[in-house]
A and B are shown apart, each in its own frame.
Chain A
Amino acid sequence: MTPTKSPGKDGRPQVFAPVLDAAQNVILGKQREIRLAMSCLLAGGHLLIEDLPGLGKTTLAHTLARLLGLHFSRVQFTADLLPADITGVSIYDRGQGDFRFVPGPVFAQLLLADEINRATPKTQSALLEAMEEGQVSIEGETRSLPRPFFVIATQNPSHQIGTFPLPESQLDRFLMRLELGYPDAAAEKALLAGGGRRRDSELLTPLLTPADILRLQREVETLHVSPALIDYVHALIEASRQNPQFRHGLSPRGGIALLAAARAWAWLAGRDMVLPDDVQAVFVAVARHRLVSVQHGGMVGREAVDGLLTQVAIP
């Protein structure tokens, strides 16, 4: 499926190959998901991981933070979590006789928002605002978040009791949505033999710096996209709008997200251009959570999204 890699002119694989390899050593049998998560980061987007507990969501976030040398913080979302618990508060410092701002966990480079659908919509929206703007407003003062700023939110499938499913408009803020799924037999046995994975991730050493990541993000943004590829992306968006199975098709923002993710994927593959293959590789992760089914009003099935890929001719 993945096209053969040819070394890029600027030696991209040398930069990123160790990162991918190291991550794959910790999270076994999930190369594709790791690659997608990396693409999401390189495209400057946020990631939503949706799956049952115990499938390695948190480990993935940890591993990425360690390998990329990002300042990491984690918030466990609960029903009584308040917006200030994320953004931070000003407290009165008696020694200085003045208010002092204590930054919340959002002031990190990689924020893991665990079980985001357990918090109330008010708290959720505080985080989503930070994701969109790259800054938070607290007590009338606007504070910039560190860069890069990358949110990995996890979510249990929303039909569980006591959850607040994210509305469509907020799902749209996540560049990608991933499902990890169960590991295959070999990976699972290796996992059982090798002990806990979380411990492995703590032993990792950073391979990149935040500055490297900002530089690589800019590099990804300038990757060549031909008019033919734009045509293809447009054809896919258009097909999603014409499809009677979907309540409405992809938004222009969805289209931009698709192209950005495809760029990052192509860059990771070591190419100096984006191919339809790259669009197809990221399509389900980028598009599925943005499409609403006509029949039950929930997220569309994977087959319907895959169907678009097989139906739309590559121009």
Chain B
Amino acid sequence: MMPTRPSIERGVLPWLWLSALAATAPHAIDQAGWLNAFAATLLALVAWRWWRHAGPLPRWLPPLIALSGGTGIWLTFGTLFGREAGVALLVLFMAMKFLELRSKRDAMVIVALGNFLLLTHYFQNQDILTGLWLLFTFWLLTASLVRLHGGPDDWRANLRQAGMLAIQAVPFMIALFLLFPRIDGPLWGLPADAHAGRTGLSEDMAPGSIAQLARSDEIAFRVSFAGPIPPRARLYWRGPVLENFDGRRWLRHPRQAPVARVIAEGPGIAYESTLEANQQRWLMALDAPLAWPASARLDSRLSVVADKPLEARQRLRMQAALDYRFNVEEDPRTLAVNLALPAKTDPRTRRLAESWRNQAREPARIVALALRHFREEAFHYTLTPPLLGDNGIDQFLFETRRGFCEHYAAAFVVLMRAAGVPARVVTGYQGGEINPRDGYLTVRQSDAHAWAEVWLENRGWQRVDPTAAVSPLRIELGIAGALPPGEPLPPLLRLGSDWLRELRFGWEALNNAWNQQVLGYDTTRQRELLQRLGWPDADWRSLGLLLGGALSTLLALSAALILLRRPRPVPEIRLWHRALRRLRVDCAPGETPHMLLARLHEQSPHTAECLAPVVAAYIQARYGPPTKNTLADLRLAVDRLPRWRLL
């Protein structure tokens, strides 16, 4: 059966089909199962019918399929609009369009839909692999266009031509990327739950909560230092400070004390931190922060807190001093909070603390006694500590003696408070891994840590890390070096062999470069770049001008290239065309000079009379045996034509 409308070539369909598959496939990861099955069935049906040379579907079937698909989406999402439902609808449309694929116009719709679907993948994921896949899909789509418009039957030739077209577009892409005016914030509003499920430090701490986090190798943030990287044992990245203890959980104290006073005792260290989105406001500044972004503030517990939760990856410039004094004079109410303990819990711990208090009157000596206790007794650093019941601190200090950093920090703080030294738990990250490829320091969730802070008279708040007393390797080498084999570490950190490590470093450096240079290219970066190019204070108007200028220059260059590479017509043809122009005569593609003359004889005998000598000379010059004078004769004949038309 032949369709009545002008049909597209049979060879076009595999191209369109593959493009559609490539454009929709990544959505299968996060779409509902029935939808994937529905779209896959439709595509399979299309392929099968193509294979069997099937005729058009019965007229009533496509509307029925469209209706059932739309109903399914409405039942799944409760709407047909919005991001999720919209994407689902587009995926369905893509598969359904094939059912009514007859004319070239339908094929164009599929290509346009495919190009639009490319965009939707960035809603979900913006990493390099997605970018590469979309590039590949774009290539396929362009090849489909080439094939649709009379491209060769050979698939390699099609891909080659499409690739050439795409490569020719690269300068324009770069110009648009660099110069298109950026908008602060995302171009389209992402819903609040876009990054839900991300792991990160929470605002409370119970035994086991950080150990849980340490099993994830997800990246929390990356840091590049302006100067040399400080020793890793000194890298404490501060998150929430926990002061309230209920016998089991540590919580933040709701009251905001007056601002923190920090006195730097060493040089300032400048660094740039790129935080992954985590829906929290803690910016994980290096202790102790001296400078922070304008969109954040320093709270009274020395944590840098952003004004808004982090909804997208963000680059922050900060400064820190490794040696500092913090709140040498502290608000008595804060000190009281940091001495409070729940009544009647952990009696053995209290007795131990009291014995230390009697032994040494000075708080600093009590701290030293406690650290010695941790160092000398048989404590064990492990990711899988036994569960603790009531009086958990007693149980841990005197029975199990196996714990992760939060156990040590909590027990230490309880001991200090019982001994009358103000103390609190600080959570955050410690250390990080230096990527030798790009010099970035990568801090992962597995670097999550908890330590303690004690307040000593005349010295202010002092960091004390009891974990360092138990397992110095944790602080010097990181968690992977400190844990014995058999602990449930994330596999990425276990990678022992050198080449695998190298591979991981290379891949992470590549990802980081992509994040920094491509995804992180925002208004600020754009302004910096333009400044370096000698274009200070560029606003969107001058950006528009610059962009327009760059694009026109590129267009002019490519036009010039095309014109230069075009073969120059031989002089005979140029003269012939000049004659035709002068007489304002058009010659059809397959019309020979004699035919033209015959036609003119009927239409306009005078013009024919004028043209006749030119025709004779042109024929002689172009088709006759090569002699010297023919070209001159032709030129003469053309020059003799009247300069303007008299009729």
Contacts and interface: CB of A to CB of B under 8 A. Distances in A.
Contacts of A85: none
B265 to A, nearest CB: 82
Nearest to A312: B590
A96 interface: no
A226 B590 contact: no
Given A1-B598, A275-B619, A226 B624 contact: yes
Contact of A313 (B589, B623, B624): B589
Interface string A218-259: 000000101011000000000000001000000000000000
Contact of A273 (B588, B590, B598, B624): B624
Interface string A289-312: 000000000000000000001111
Interface string A266-282: 00000011111100100
B622 interface: yes
A310 B623 contact: no
Contact of A276 (B572, B588, B592, B598): B592
A228 B592 contact: no
A275 B592 contact: yes
Contacts of A277: 592, 594-595
B590 A313 contact: yes
Contact of B625 (A244, A273, A313): A273
B362 interface: no
B589 A280 contact: no
A3 interface: yes
B531 to A, nearest CB: 54
A310 B624 contact: no
B589 A224 contact: no
Nearest to B589: A313
B589 A228 contact: no
Interface residues of B, number: 16
A224 B624 contact: yes
A272 B624 contact: yes
Nearest to B624: A273
Contact of B622 (A3, A228, A309, A312): A228
Per DSSP, chain B at the interface is loop
A310 B595 CA distance: 12
A226 B625 CA distance: 7
| Interface band, chain A | 20 to 34
Contacts of B588: 310
Contact of A226 (B9, B592, B622): B622
Interface in A188-226: 224, 226
A311 B622 contact: no
B100 interface: no
A274 B625 CA distance: 10
Contact of B594 (A229, A275, A310, A313): A275
Contacts of A274: 623
A310 B589 contact: yes
Contacts of B591: 314
A184 B404 CA distance: 110
Interface string B601-639: 000000000000000000100111110000000000000
A120 to B, nearest CB: 36
A311 B590 contact: yes
A292 to B, nearest CB: 18
Contacts of B9: 244
Given A1-B598, A3-B594, A273 B589 contact: no
Contact of A224 (B572, B592, B619, B625): B625
A3 B594 CA distance: 7
B530 to A, nearest CB: 49
Nearest to A6: B616
B447 to A, nearest CB: 65
Nearest to A275: B623
A226 B590 CA distance: 18
A224 B619 CA distance: 13
Interface string B195-238: 00000000000000000000000000000000000000000000
B625 A272 contact: yes
A275 B598 CA distance: 15
Given A3-B594, A275-B594, A277-B594, A312 B589 contact: yes
A264 B108 CA distance: 49
B619 A309 contact: no
B590 A310 contact: yes
A226 B589 contact: no
Contacts of A312: 589-590
B589 A311 contact: yes
A312 B590 CA distance: 6
Q: Which of A228, A272, A311, A312 has the most CB of B within 10 A?
A: A228
Interface in A1-20: 1, 3
B623 A273 contact: yes
Contacts of A272: 624-625
Contacts of B598: 1
Contacts of A228: 572, 622-623
Contacts of B624: 224, 226, 272-273
Interface in B533-590: 572, 588-590
Given A1-B598, A277-B595, A229 B623 contact: yes
A1 B595 CA distance: 7
A276 B590 CA distance: 9
A313 to B, nearest CB: 4
Given A310-B589, A311-B589, A226 B623 contact: yes
Nearest to B2: A295
Contact of A309 (B572, B590, B594, B626): B590
A280 B9 CA distance: 30
Nearest to A244: B9
Contacts of B625: 224, 226, 272-273
Contacts of B623: 226, 228-229, 273-276
A314 B589 contact: yes
Contacts of A244: 9
Nearest to A306: B590
B62 to A, nearest CB: 28
Q: Which of A244, A272, A277 has the most CB of B within 10 A?
A: A277
A90 B307 CA distance: 114
A247 B588 CA distance: 27
A275 B592 CA distance: 8
Contacts of A280: 590, 592
Contacts of A273: 619, 623-625
Contacts of A310: 588-590
A226 B589 CA distance: 19
A46 to B, nearest CB: 28
A276 B572 CA distance: 15
A312 B622 CA distance: 18
A313 B586 CA distance: 13
A244 B8 CA distance: 12
Contacts of B589: 310-314
B154 to A, nearest CB: 13
B177 to A, nearest CB: 39
Interface string B21-43: 00000000000000000000000
Contacts of A226: 622-626
Given A273-B624, A275-B619, A314 B594 contact: no
Contacts of B626: 226
Contacts of B595: 1, 277
Q: Which of B592, B598, B623, B626 has the most CB of A within 10 A?
A: B623
A4 to B, nearest CB: 8
Top 4 A-B pairs, shortest CB-CB distance: A313-B589, A310-B590, A276-B592, A224-B625
25 contacts: A224-B624, A226-B622, A226-B625, A244-B9, A272-B625, A273-B623, A273-B625, A274-B623, A275-B592, A275-B594, A275-B619, A275-B623, A276-B592, A276-B623, A277-B592, A277-B594, A309-B590, A310-B588, A310-B589, A310-B590, A311-B590, A312-B589, A313-B589, A313-B590, A314-B592
Given A228-B622, A314-B591, 17 more contacts: A1-B595, A3-B594, A224-B624, A224-B625, A226-B623, A226-B625, A228-B623, A229-B623, A273-B625, A275-B594, A275-B619, A275-B623, A277-B595, A280-B592, A309-B590, A311-B589, A311-B590
